[in-house]
Structure 1
Amino acid sequence: MEVWLQAARIAAGVNVVLLLALGSIWLRNYRQHGAHHTLGLLVFDTFLLVQNLLWLYFYILHPDFIGWFVNSGTDVQIGVTMLCGLELVAILFLARITWI
């Protein structure tokens, strides 16, 4: 079903936007304070950003992956979409505690 592919695209896109925002905050904080914890958050953010950009490439531009996704079973579609969705929830939590 195309709806699961679209949901995964949206989740990955929102993840990218949130990770860019969080990365800019953590980079600014690291430059100001030089805390190792902030550097760890920045490295974590960078790896998640690369992962989500790769997901977006597969979800939007890679025809073989899109064909596999659309033709796979609903359980696989839901599972792959839930991975991006759960990651979105975790990033929203990080965003919430960062912006408090």
Structure 2
Amino acid sequence: MTLWVDVARIAILANVLLTLVLGYVWGRNYLQFRSKQTLGLVLFTGFLLLENLLALYFYMFEPTLRVWVTSVPPIAQGAMTALRLCEFGGLFFLTWVTWD
């Protein structure tokens, strides 16, 4: 395994955790207010959680894609990791302003 792939896996796990926190807050708000906006946020959370869980599966458990991810050139691994870290930054800030 390379460092880039390990960092991407950690970022994906962090994204799953932050998405679960957002889903909890937005789901609780939807149950209280029943507005279209909070329903949209809950659905967004569901799709984002699904995307991150699939990525986690591909990076860690699916044998063919796991080999492919670890065998691509380091520049591609860095690019994929950069995308995961950007997503983490956005989710972290969104979680911070939502929880506040």
Q: Same fold (TM over 0.5)?
A: yes
The TM-score bracket by the shorter chain reads over 0.9
Post-superposition CA distance 1:24-80 (Å, at most 9, x none): 111110010112111111111110000000000011101211211221111110111
TM-score (norm 1): 0.94
- Which amino acid in 1 is paired with 2:5? L
Residue 71 of structure 1: aligned partner: 71
- Which amino acid in 2 is paired with 1:13? L
Query: What SS does structure 2 have at the residue aligned with 1:66?
Result: helix
The count of aligned residue pairs is 100
Runs of 4+ in 1 over 2 A off after TM superposition: none
Alignment pair present for 1:5 and 2:5 = yes
- Unaligned stretches of 5+ residues in structure 2: none
Q: Partners of 1:76 and 1:33 in 2: how far apart?
A: 44
TM-score (norm 2): 0.94
Q: Partners of 1:63 and 1:79 in 2: how far apart?
A: 21
What is the aligned-residue identity percentage? 42
Pairwise CA RMSD of aligned residues? 1.0
- Unaligned stretches of 5+ residues in structure 1: none
